C-alpha cells in the first residue's frame, strides 16, 4: 500500500514539475541548472535530471545527448563556463563558490552522451 502511495505522489510531482523542466530545457539550459547552457547540438534527456539540497549544499545531475563532436562540446564549456564564474580545475571539472561541476563526455556509436554532476566541494 505504501509503494502505491509513494508512486502516486511521485507521479503527481512529475506532472506538476515536468512541464517546468521541459520549459527550462527549451530555453537552452541544462535541466536542473539555472545558468549552465546546453552546448549546441545537445538535447536534454527527458526525466534524467535529479536535484536536491543537502546539509552541505545542492546536488544536481542531468544528462544530454546529441550527434555532435565531443571536442566541440568540451570547447564550448571551456569557453562558456569561465564567463559564468566557473574556474576550470581539471579537464571536465569546474569550481565556483564551494561547488564542483563535473562534465563527463562519452561517445557510443554516433551518439554523444554528456553527464552533468554538481556537488558541494
For residue range 55-80, what is the model confidence (pLDDT) as tens digits? 899 999 999 999 999 999 999 999 99
Q: Where are the domains of the chain?
A: 2-120
Assign 3-state DSSP to the chain and report helix, strand, coil percentages, each to 5. Answer: 35, 40, 30
Report d(CA 30, CA 49) in Å as an integer: 9
Give the tens place of pLDDT for each residue, 7-57: 455 445 454 444 433 333 445 999 999 999 999 999 999 999 999 998 899
- Look at strands 99-108 and 87-90 and give their pairing: unpaired
Amino acid at each position: 500500500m505504501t509503494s502505491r502511495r509513494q508512486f502516486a505522489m511521485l507521479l503527481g510531482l512529475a506532472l506538476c514539475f515536468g512541464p517546468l523542466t521541459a520549459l527550462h530545457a527549451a530555453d537552452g539550459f541544462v535541466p536542473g541548472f539555472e545558468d549552465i547552457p546546453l552546448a549546441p547540438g545537445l538535447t536534454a534527456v527527458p526525466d534524467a535530471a535529479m536535484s536536491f539540497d543537502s546539509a552541505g549544499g545542492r546536488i544536481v545531475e542531468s544528462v544530454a545527448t546529441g550527434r555532435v563532436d565531443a571536442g566541440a562540446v568540451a570547447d564550448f564549456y571551456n569557453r562558456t563556463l569561465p564567463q559564468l564564474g566557473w574556474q576550470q580545475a581539471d579537464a571536465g571539472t569546474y569550481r565556483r563558490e564551494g561547488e564542483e561541476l563535473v562534465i563527463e563526455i562519452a561517445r557510443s556509436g554516433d551518439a554523444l552522451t554528456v553527464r552533468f554532476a554538481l556537488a558541494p566541494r
